[in-house]
Amino acid sequence: MAEIVLECRNLWKIYGKVVAVRDVSLGIKEGEIKVLFGPSGSGKSTLARCLAMLTKPTKGDVFLRGECLTRPGVDLNKARARIGFVFQHIWLFNHLTALGNVMLGLRRVLKMSKEEAEKRARRALREVRMEEWADHYPAQLSGGQQQRVGIARALAMDPEIIILDEPTSSLDPELTGEVIDILRELAKKGTTMLIISHEMLFNREVADEMIFFDEGRIVERGPPDHFFTMPKTDRARRFMERLIKQTARD
């Protein structure tokens, strides 16, 4: 059986009076693609950020290949470098070219030489079909191209898993396709991924398991076909109906 790459057990995240994530246990195995979906404000981003240890969980544990990251004394920078993260709201440094943005983590975090970092960064840009744009600045790129650089930045670090938080939701519909195509290619290569996405055709195609999240909890989970044919809970059924109607309109 494939090894679990990243896992949380009984994870809670509480902000003041808001319980964003309540008692969630979830693991992503080597080569597996899990899709997380659910209403806005249900805690998906918070869960993703806790799994990547970008946010400290209030309670519960996170394990990266069996190593507990929530114990005191863990080198979190080292652990974070092994978990790629692609953000919903694309952020690149405006004063750096696409290449410069992708090289940054390689130089600063992985302490690579300039030559080595550049080679690795160009390879990552090639993987997202952005090698010709290496010397362009973010302002000269479309939103879809910027997000592809964001994906290259994660890939360049050669992470063990990539978490993508609604990578296309801030893009115009016509730019969504080019990012989805890249994700589809990553899926074909067997990249281990946790993807928050409401692109249902894509989800259906690539997900090994889909997880419906609401009010900080896993409400229902199963293979994509389960959700497309017979969701058990009313909440998941209603949500699916809304999404499918929306997809038909687009």
Ligand X SMILES: Nc1ncnc2c1ncn2[C@@H]1O[C@H](COP(=O)(O)OP(=O)(O)O)[C@@H](O)[C@H]1O
- Cα angle 160-166-167, degrees, rounded to a multiple of 5: 70
Question: Contact region for Mg ion (CB under 5 A) — 22-30, 37-45, 186-194, 235-243?
Answer: 37-45
- Select from Mg ion, ligand X, none the partner in contact with residue 57, using the beta carbon and a kind-dependent cut-off of 5 to 8 Å: none
30-38, 43-51, 69-77, 146-154 -> range binding Mg ion (CB under 5 A): 43-51
Q: Least distance from C-beta 58 to Mg ion, angstroms?
A: 18
Q: How far is the CB of 59 from ligand X (least distance, A)?
A: 15
Q: Which residues bind ligand X (CB under 6 A)?
A: 15, 18, 20, 40-46
DSSP string, 87-139: -SS----TTS-HHHHHHHHHHHTS---HHHHHHHHHHHHHHTT-GGGTT--GG
Secondary structure (H, E, C), 153-220: HHHHCCCCEEEEECCCCCCCHHHHHHHHHHHHHHHHCCCCEEEECCCHHHHHHHCCEEEEEECCEEEE
Among 7, 24, 42, 45, binds Mg ion (CB under 5 A): 45
Shortest Å, Cβ 45 to Mg ion: 3
Nearer to ligand X, 22 or 120 (CB): 22
Binding site for Mg ion (CB under 5 A): 45
